[in-house]
Amino acid sequence: MSGMIKTMNSQELIPYVIAVFHHKGGVGKTTAAINLGACFAELQQETLIIDLDPSANLTSGVGIRPANVRHSIADVLLGNETLVNVSQPTEIPRLDIIPTSNDMQTVAKFFTLRNRYEELLRKNIVALVSTPKDPDQSPKAYKWVIMDCPPSVGPLVITAIIAANLLIIPIKCEYYSLQNLKIVFEIINTVRHKYNPNLSFRLLISILDQRDNMQIRIMDEVRKFYGPAMFDTVISYDNKLGYSQIYGKSVIEYEPKSLATEQFRALAQEILNFNQR
């Protein structure tokens, strides 16, 4: 799978787009989006993270209070703004964010009334390569766009997965997390059939308690069943992740030498290798 895709009318390259989604909450979805973005930025690669979840955990996770957000992804989805105009820097160099706001409730009501709403995010991401924020500057050359999706099936999830090159599905080694995979795979099949035949996906074992023998047994069974569709990297339970969320930081910023930091760095490298293939 090619890491970058050339637009039809430009020699500029659009970013590699990752959507992070599971139909069940509490599986480490937002944690993965924030810390992958931080790892790519640490590798000196311009990265944009997008908060599509009305809960705004990604927004608050980088230290931004959702109540203070003036322009958000809602403005883009309603056709009032572009991604470039709404993007803002985080405290991490080379990591920008499109925050969310309370206006996402309005998006849920009116988004599907827009013409071909399913492809709106993909079109806006393609436009990143030709729309500078400052008319006197060149467009920002994002190499990665990472979208944190809400944990429910709906138009926001569909438009994100249609825009994605890669869908990351975080899973916990527990029954309910695995049970809900059937719904995720149905969405993948629908999107591949109608809109995005080149969509790839990978399962990510997340929040694994290495001391829990049942979780280890479930992980081994999941690997036997899904095999090549899984990342080699596992994100283990690490209390440093919880502390980093309290302080509105990535774990890479909060504790650069933690277990979680090393695992997310390994995951970022694995995605880089996958992208290059």
- What are the tens digits of pLDDT across the range 56-65? 999 999 999 9
**Is residue 268 over pLDDT 60?**
yes
User: What is the side-by-side order of every strand in the sheet holding 16-20?
Assistant: 88-89, 95-98, 47-51, 144-148, 16-20, 166-171, 200-205
Query: Residue ranges per domain, the chain?
Result: 5-276
Q: What is the architecture of the domain spanning 5-276?
A: 3-Layer(aba) Sandwich (3.40)
pTM given for the model: 0.91
Q: Mean pLDDT, to the nearest integer, of 266-275?
A: 93
Distances (CA, A) of 184 to 56, 157, 163, 222, 227: 22, 10, 16, 16, 17
> Higher model confidence: residue 24 or residue 245?
245
Query: Where is pLDDT greater, at 2 or 80?
Result: 80
Residue-wise pLDDT tens digits, 115-166: 888 899 999 999 887 666 666 566 678 999 999 999 988 899 999 999 999 9
Q: What CA–CA distances, in Å, run from 134 to 42, 91, 137? A: 25, 21, 5
pLDDT at 113: 84
Burial class (CB in 10 A: 0-12, 13-18, 19+), 101: buried
Label residue 5 by pLDDT band (50, 70, 90). very low
Task: Give me the percent of the chain exceeding a pLDDT of 90.
Answer: 66
pLDDT of residue 4: 35
| The token pair that represents 58 in the structure block | 């990604």
